[in-house]
Amino acid sequence: MELEDARDLGDDDVTKGPWTPEEDSILRSLVMAQGPRNWTTIASCIPGRSGKSCRLRWLNQLSPAVKSGPFSAEEDAVILWAHMQYGNKWASIAKHLPGR
């Protein structure tokens, strides 16, 4: 099978790339109404997005538990300390920054 043929077997209905503000708004509304569970059901209301994609978008970007904005001086110090301990192992460093 040629590489081009293998790509043709993919799901044409799957949206890849950045989320639109409208998709974010729909996802927020659905999670507020149904809770952060049953991602397949939530995804069925957002054409082209999978349950996994919805779950990751919520957990990493949209959840109120996620801190956004610049790092505080304390967080900067934690990052510098953790980098000295772990090097470029960013997943290990991130464990010291809850909500980030």
Domains detected in the chain? 13-66 (1.10.10.60), 69-99 (1.10.10.60)
Please state, in angstroms and rounded to a whole number, the distance separating the CA atoms of residues 39 and 53: 9
Would you say residue 20 has pLDDT above 80? yes
| Average pLDDT for the chain | 88
- Write down the pLDDT at residue 99: 84
- Summarize pLDDT for 27-71 with one digit per residue, the tens: 999 999 999 999 999 999 999 999 999 999 999 999 999 998 999
* Closest-CA residue to 26 (of 59, 70, 58): 58
Q: Which of 10-14, 31-35, 45-49, 92-96 has the lowest mean pLDDT?
A: 10-14
User: How far is it, in rounded angstroms, from Cα 26 to Cα 76?
Assistant: 34
For residue 11, the SS3 value is coil
Could you tell me if residue 97 is left (phi over 0), alpha (psi between -120 and 50 degrees) or otherwise beta?
beta
Residues sharing a CB contact under 8 Å with residue 23, sequence separation 6 or more, in sequence order: 46, 49
What pLDDT was estimated at residue 14? 76
On whether the CB atoms of residues 74 and 82 are closer than 8 A, the answer is: no
Cα 38 to chain centroid, rounded: 16
pTM: 0.69
pLDDT of residue 82: 98
* pLDDT the model gives residue 11: 52
